[in-house]
Amino acid sequence: MKNEKSDGKVAFITGANRGLGFETARELGKIGTRVIIGSRDAKRGEAAAVKLREQGITAESLGFDITNARDHQKAYDYLANKYDRLDILVNNAGVWKESDTSSPTSVPTPPSALSPEILHETFDTNFFATVALTQKLLPLVRKAPAGRIVNVSSILGSLTLQADPASPVYSYKAFAYDASKAALNAFTVHLAHELRDTKIKVNSAHPGWVKTDMGGPNATMEVSEGGKTSAQLATLLEDGPNGGFFHLGQAVPW
């Protein structure tokens, strides 16, 4: 999977004040992208931007809650007024509501006992709000010479692997989270098809099992590795894939 330098490009990354989003911002910033960190906590977002700027990266922050429709308009206005385009959108913000990932003995609630509230809260962030934000910002992505949209998914959203007793994720099921990521993957496929005759590419990223607050301490990848897949998909060349699901350049089954 070949990638390009992105000097001068503008990227908006949701949920980027820490964890996967912050590492994605760092990866993109290192190759010359101007990164805009979306963070529910404006102070933490600015602190993250300062940390990146100290590393020579051009970084800004924007107080942004993906579940707040007014913030979608706020992001659009900010990007439109300042840059009149958006080269890269990384839909990174997401939630996990079904278990305590910091505890190795915590088990997700089975689907037969999952509350409607947890299901709705998970889908509101991981799917509905993400779709709505992408729809809002798409006119700005269309203005970019070669827009890239990255939907941060998870291998747990792979129906193929979840249904295969021989797969590494077969025994670990968190219904709300997994289903929300499967739905996000469906959005990737459908939006990529809609935009197939443009220069925009839309792909899903499985960042890996990373030692973030969500991934927990037992994860197999360090935080510093967590943004690599999203950054790769955000900088695809013109002949790169569209409408796929990837981890570090390798296809993940739907």
Summarised one tens digit per residue, pLDDT across range 116-160 is 999 999 999 999 999 999 999 999 999 999 999 999 999 999 999
CA 10 – CA 239 distance, rounded (Å): 21
Task: Render 60-117 in DSSP notation, one character per residue.
Answer: EEEE--TT-HHHHHHHHHHHHHHTS--SEEEE------SS-TT-TT--PPPTTT--HH
Task: Tell me the domains of the chain and their CATH numbers.
Answer: 10-251 (3.40.50.720)
By the 10 Å C-beta count (0-12 exposed, 13-18 middle, 19+ buried), 45 is classed as buried
Q: Does 211 have pLDDT greater than 50?
A: no
Q: Does residue 145 sit in helix, strand or coil?
A: coil
Please compute the mean of the pLDDT values over residues 239-250 and round it to a whole number.
Answer: 95
pLDDT range class, residue 210, cuts 50, 70, 90: very low
- The pTM score is 0.92
- The amino acid at residue 161 is L
Please compute the mean of the pLDDT values over residues 105-121 and round it to a whole number.
Answer: 90
- Catalytic hit among 76, 78, 170, 177: 177
**pLDDT at residue number 85:** 98
Please compute the mean of the pLDDT values over residues 103-126 and round it to a whole number.
Answer: 89
**pLDDT at residue number 114:** 95
More confident position, 5 or 225 = 225
pLDDT, mean over the chain:
91
More confident position, 101 or 219 = 101
Catalytic, 170? Answer: no
**pLDDT at residue number 213:** 55
Bridge partner residues of 236 (DSSP): 3
